[in-house]
Amino acid sequence: MERLQNVTKKIGKLEFALLSPNEIRKMSATKVITADTYDDDGFPITMGLMDPKLGIIEPGLRCKTCGLKVGKNGCPGHFGHIDLAMPVVHVGFVKTIRNSLRATCRACGRILLTDNQIKEYKELIEKHRKEGRDTAYIFKNIVSDCKSSEKCSRCTREIGKIELDKPTSFREKGKKLTPSEIREWLEKIPDSDIPFIDINITAARPEWMVLTVLPVPPVTVRPSVTLESGERSEDDLTHKLVDVIRINQRLQENRDAGAPQLIVEDLWELLQYHITTYLDNQTSGIPPARHRSGRPLKTLAQRLKGKEGRFRSNLSGKRVNFSARTVISPDPNLSINELGVPIEIARELTVPVRITQYNIDWCKQLIKDTAIAIKHEETYIPQVNYVKRYRENGIEQRIKITDKNAEEVAEKLEVGSIMERQLMNGDIGLFNRQPSLHRMSMMAHRIKIVTKKTFRFNLSVCPPYNADYDGDEMNLHLLQGEEAKAEAEILMKVQENILSPRFGGIIIGGIHDHISGCFLLTYKDKQFSKEDASQILSAIGYTAKFPDNHEENGKTYVYGRDIFSVLLPKDLSIEFKAKACFHCDTCKAPNCPYNTYVIVKKGKMLKGIIDENAIGAFKGKILDRIIRDHGSDAGREFIDTVTKMAIASITKYGFTTSIDDEDIPEQAKQQIHEGLEKAQKKINDLITAYEHNELESLPGRSLEETLEMEIMRVTGRTRDMAGEIASRHLGLNNSAVIMAKSGARGSMLNLSQMSGCVGQQAVRGERISRGYQQRTLPHFKRGDLGASAKGFVASSYKSGLTPTEYFFHSMGGREGLVDTAVRTSRSGYMQRRLVNALEDLKVESDGTVRHTSGEIIQFMYGEDGVDPARSLNGDAVDIDRIITEVKEE
């Protein structure tokens, strides 16, 4: 029985058409004639704008048309109508009206085409329709064909030029056409000619575009609000309708009383204005109707239009229940697919559980426990908030569980009821961070209830969400159906999203400390005493055989790489270059003198360093391989243990960076200083050469441009030189260098800017050149082209910038900020357009890519049918690997 209730109706199609005056009257619940809403006693006036026949908005009252109350299944509201004294043009259709007038004869109403043309166009339109092409240009041609004819071929009437005075008035041969005349004209057009003016006869008649009756929307569409002071405030639409009715009434009275033509025409135009603004208050050419406060009214078109309009805000975007939002913070002890949810949120959100014969005992216990849970708030025990029962007649009964009735409800629990239970560990929820730019912005996590008030998750999951912990907030959605839970489990869990469909590589992996931790564990044949090794291994809960060890000076040592090997699957064999690779001219691959070539054979790491290229997000090769060979769960496991081990090892080692990491010896500073002076001289030489016209210009460049380019080159090289000297004095015992080399955070460029020289500041890719007349700052001579006058910062961040340098540096920095601001909006719009254009495409069972309407876009997806997410960086198959495998067989 309950099943019957849940039968869902499916909307098959939507048809669009115009309302004819008859239809408007037929669907009208009442005629509206009074330009007022409520009388002095606060009751709605009959045949006024708030007539109870139009629906009700106050709870408790009954609608006079349908007898229903307010509510979900209550009265939807009913349309009324206003009979207009004189016809009025509909603004939205002025273009169609203009085309109809231009294309037809005023006397006989026939289209101004010869029979031959009619036949030709008919065929053309039919052909285009069949092929699903755009027909708009055909109708444009028809109108221009008709415009050029001077006489109607059927009744020999002369054709006058039709002009449209924006927004709503028409002139024929300079003489104004009244809406009544237009309507009469349009009425004459025979049905057979209507298809040629782009109107479908089953949906509309051209004369319906000149309004004689105005539908009045139900009050539910324009509810009035009662302010605190007891004053009623009407909706914008109601205000506009009041204006329409008032003018309509005056027009009627004046016309009936035989008032002078001029007055009638003025009122008629006023009515036209009010109806135009009622339909669209942003029509160009007329002032928008305003509220008393001066705010423009939000009328029909404004309600639908734009980002805050009905379509984009309410119809395409839906509000949801069972969601939560709070600040995020890191928790390295959680697995990547877990999510720490605060108790406060867990108590608030519920999951429905249907009582079946299989879980009834468990459910009963849970309800009983609720009584205990309510008493012991401090420890989290999931409670049951409600139990929903369905009575014989299908009516739902909700029982709130309290510590008093828990026992009773539990005993009475029957199969088929639904209980709403609070969150438990292991529930599945969708976690999301805006902007949701790709599908990895929303992933399914297993919930773990935690104390404190933030959402907590593993740091490795930051890259797909693009999250950091500087105050970001994220959202959680709870799934309410079994089907949804199953789908989320299979498709949306974090481990299923480690491989990005964007480029077929991993997007979740070790970051920051995970990388430097592994680096410290493995570089320079690092070895650990048995005790330290044991501690690191215990951090990941390792229980199997202790890794290979050797004795030295009576103590037992273990190589860091052997500790790491513990994590690797036994069948893993891989070789690759580490991030720390020096990119020597001749690579001595397997025997790299710097030990940056990683070799793993059968799950044992023989050589190399573990860094970003092994386990990092976006790049980690070992991680990538493990996921492909052993599946996503193994990948998740690997990330979890690697991060734990890395943190254990970095804790063991001790790792910190501070400002003295950027210290370089006095002698190095001297060297940099000499280099800077040399560069200064070089630039001065270039400038003198330029001033004496001795500079040779580059092909296709002016002298000035050449000079600029040359100077930019010199300054660039100078910065590199300074960085080079500085990095010579910063060895791998320096934490900042370790981070840069291993790819954990920062780059050598950052370091060289901190300890060597910041370098040339640029705005729009050029040296800084604007400011005062012929100079950037008053500190320099006019026309000074030297390095420091144009934004070269010779100091390092550590040594501090001079005032002028600081100013130039800020200029460069500001450009970056502006750039980011502009970029986000531009790329956001591009993505919206791309999504809108491509959202309807899907891969069919036959491998083709089709639009949901059936149009074929590709005969085979990507020309080879390969899923980018499953590809190896775009390649379908790793043939080299297959061949080596076959060789070994």
Partner 1 sequence: MAAKKPAKQKKTKKPVAKKPTKAPFVKKIPQKKIIKKEPVKKQKMKPVEKKPKKTKEDKPVQKTKPSGKQTKKEKEPVKEIKMVPPPPKAPEEPDEHKKIRAQIHKILKNNTLPYNIINEIIKRVVKDKKLESKLGRIVEKTMVAYQKTCIDPTEACGMVGAQSIGEPGTQMTMRTFHYAGVAEINVTLGLPRLIEIVDARSSPSTPMMNIYLRDEYRINPDLAKEIANQIEITRLVDVADIEMDLTNMTIAIKLNTKTIEKKGITADEILNSVSSIKKTSAKKEKETTIKINLDEPGYKQLQNVSETLKTLKIKGIDGIKRVIIRKEPNEGYVIYSEGSNLKKVLEIEGVDPYRTTTNDIHAVGRELGIEAARNMIIQEAYNTLSEQGLNVDMRHIMLVADVMTADGTVRAIGRHGVSGEKSSVLSRAAFEITVNHLLLASQRGETDGLNGVAENIIVGQPVSLGTGAVKLVMSHGKKKT
Between 26 and 826, CB nearer to partner 1: 826
Figure out which of the listed residues 119, 151, 295, 311 binds partner 1, where binding follows CB under 8 A: 311
To the nearest whole angstrom, how small is the minimum distance from the Cβ of residue 879 to partner 1? 5
Distances (CA, A) of 85 to 37, 255, 260, 364, 659: 21, 9, 16, 70, 83
The only residue of 193, 198, 235, 708 in contact with partner 1, by rule CB under 8 A? 198
Q: Are 519 and 611 in contact (CB under 8 A)?
A: yes
- Say if residues 29 and 49 touch (Cβ distance below 8 Å): no
What single-letter amino acid sits at 107?
A: A
User: In whole angstroms, how close is the CB of 211 to partner 1 at the nearest point?
Assistant: 13
Candidates 171-179, 181-189, 801-809, 849-857 — which segment interacts with partner 1 by CB under 8 A? 849-857
Choose which of 258, 260, 765, 800 interacts with partner 1 (CB under 8 A). Answer: 765
Of 367-375, 525-533, 668-676, 820-828, the segment contacting partner 1 by CB under 8 A is 820-828
Does 1 contact partner 1 by CB under 8 A? no
Q: Shortest distance, CB of residue 227 to partner 1, whole angstroms?
A: 31
Give the Cα separation of 141 and 414 in Å (integer).
72
The span from the CA of 416 to the CA of 393, in Å, is 14
Is 191 a binding residue for partner 1 by CB under 8 A? The answer is: no
* DSSP 8-state assignment for residue 221: G
Question: Nearer to partner 1 by C-beta: 402 or 827?
Answer: 827
Q: Which distant-in-sequence residues (6+ apart) come within 8 Å of 337 by Cβ?
A: 444, 445, 446, 493, 494, 495, 636
* 307's tokens: 């980002």
d(C-alpha 373, C-alpha 554), whole Å: 58
Alpha-carbon torsion (701, 702, 704, 706), positive or negative = positive
C-beta contacts of 683-691 below 8 A and 24+ residues apart: 683/711, 683/714, 683/715, 683/786, 683/787, 684/786, 686/710, 686/711, 686/714, 687/785, 687/786, 690/785
Q: Is 285 in the site for partner 1 (CB under 8 A)?
A: no
Q: Are 310 and 304 in contact (CB under 8 A)?
A: yes
- In the bound state with partner 1, the residue whose beta carbon lies nearer, of 204 and 423, is 204
Alpha-carbon span 175 to 611, nearest angstrom: 83
**How far apart are alpha carbons 373 and 212 in whole angstroms?**
67
**In the complex, least distance from residue 54 CB atom to partner 1, rounded to whole angstroms:** 23
Cα 846 from Cα 8, distance rounded (Å): 30
List 122, 127, 133, 550, residue binding partner 1 (CB under 8 A) = 133
Structure tokens, 481: 């159906």
Binds partner 1 by CB under 8 A, chosen from 438, 512, 577, 775: 438
Residues in 482-541 that interact with partner 1 by CB under 8 A: 487, 491, 501-505
Q: Quick one: which of 764, 800, 803, 817 contacts partner 1 (CB under 8 A)? A: 764
Of the candidate spans 234-242, 639-647, 776-784, 857-865, the one that interacts with partner 1 by CB under 8 A turns out to be 857-865
Nearest distance from C-beta of residue 839 to partner 1, angstroms? 5
Distance CA 451, CA 465 (A): 23
- Residue number, 262 or 837, with CB nearest to partner 1: 837
Is 782 near partner 1 (CB under 8 A)?
A: no
Please report whether residue 631 would count as binding partner 1 according to CB under 8 A.
Answer: no
Residue 633 interacts with partner 1 (CB under 8 A)?
Answer: no
User: Which parts of 679-718 interact with partner 1 (CB under 8 A)?
Assistant: 698-701
- The window from 28-36, 39-47, 411-419, 854-862 that contacts partner 1 (CB under 8 A) reads 854-862
CB of 763 to partner 1, least distance (A): 10
Site string for partner 1, 582-611 (x = CB under 8 A): ------------------------------
Q: CB of residue 881 vs partner 1: minimum separation in angstroms? A: 9
Could you tell me the smallest distance in angstroms from the CB atom of residue 889 to partner 1? Answer: 7
Q: Interacting stretch for partner 1, rule CB under 8 A, among 7-15, 147-155, 446-454, 609-617?
A: 7-15
Per CB under 8 A, the segment of 67-75, 90-98, 214-222, 786-794 that binds partner 1 is 90-98
The 3-class secondary structure across 441-457, one letter per residue, is HEEEEEEEEECCCCEEE
Contact, 623 vs 638, CB < 8 A? yes
Out of 6, 148, 202, 658, the residue judged to bind partner 1 by CB under 8 A? 202
Distance CA 263, CA 560 (A): 98
Distance CA 225, CA 837 (A): 40
CB of 6 to partner 1, least distance (A): 12
Residues numbered 372 to 391 that lie near partner 1 (CB under 8 A) are none
* Min separation Cβ 829 and partner 1, Å: 9
Residues from 141 through 170 that contact partner 1 (CB under 8 A): none
Cis peptide before 218, with omega less than 30 degrees from 0?
no
Contacts of 759 (CB under 8 A, 6+ apart): 715, 716, 718, 719, 722, 753, 792, 793
With residue 760 as reference, give the H or E element that holds it. strand 759-760
Given 45, 108, 263, 304, the residue binding partner 1 (CB under 8 A): 304
Provide the minimum distance between the beta carbon of 204 and partner 1 in the complex, in angstroms, as a whole number: 5
Give the pairing type, strands 210-216 and 418-422.
Answer: unpaired
834 forms part of the interface with partner 1 (CB under 8 A): yes
452 counts as binding partner 1 under rule CB under 8 A: no
Q: Which helix (H) or strand (E) holds 556?
A: strand 555-559
- Applying CB under 8 A, among 138, 574, 811, 843 the residue interacting with partner 1 is 843
Q: In the block, which residue shows the tokens 């090794």? A: 533
- Reference 564, options 519, 629, 498, 532; nearest CA is 519
DSSP β-bridge partners for residue 158: 151
CB 380 within 8 A of CB 372: no
* Region binding partner 1 by CB under 8 A among candidate stretches 3-11, 288-296, 388-396, 512-520: 3-11
Asked if 203 touches partner 1 (CB under 8 A), the answer is: yes
Q: Which is nearer to partner 1, 606 or 843 (CB)?
A: 843
Q: How far is the CB of 274 from partner 1 (least distance, A)?
A: 18
The three-class DSSP label of residue 856 is: strand
- Whether residue 272 contacts residue 179, with contact meaning beta carbons closer than 8 Å, is answered with yes
Angular region, 459: left φ>0, alpha ψ -120 to 50, beta rest? alpha
Among 6, 270, 306, 659, which residue sits at the site for partner 1 (rule: CB under 8 A)? 306
Verify binding: residue 432, partner 1, rule CB under 8 A: no
- Choosing from 40, 41, 115, 134, the residue that interacts with partner 1 (CB under 8 A) is 134
Pick from 106, 109, 78, 92: nearest CA to 208: 92
Helices marked H in 472-604: 482-487, 513-522, 530-539, 560-565
Alpha-helical (H) ranges within 692-773 are: 703-728, 735-742, 748-755
Verify binding: residue 415, partner 1, rule CB under 8 A. no
Q: Which of 52, 81, 86, 93 binds partner 1 (CB under 8 A)?
A: 93
What residue has token string 């509206």? 32
Query: Could you give the string, one character per residue 641-670, with x where binding to partner 1 holds by CB under 8 A and - elsewhere?
Result: ------------------------------
831 sits near partner 1 (criterion: CB under 8 A): yes
What distance in Å separates the CA atoms of residue 279 and residue 299, rounded to the nearest whole number? 6
Contact pattern for partner 1 over residues 8 through 27, marking x by CB under 8 A: --xxxxxxxxx---------
Q: Is 877 in the site for partner 1 (CB under 8 A)?
A: yes
Per CB under 8 A, does 812 bind partner 1?
Answer: no
- Applying CB under 8 A, the site for partner 1 has a residue count of 107
- Taking the complex as a whole, the smallest distance from the CB of residue 93 to partner 1 amounts, in Å, to 7
Q: Does 813 bind partner 1 (CB under 8 A)?
A: no
Report d(CA 771, CA 768) in Å as an integer.
Answer: 9
Is 320 a binding residue for partner 1 by CB under 8 A? The answer is no
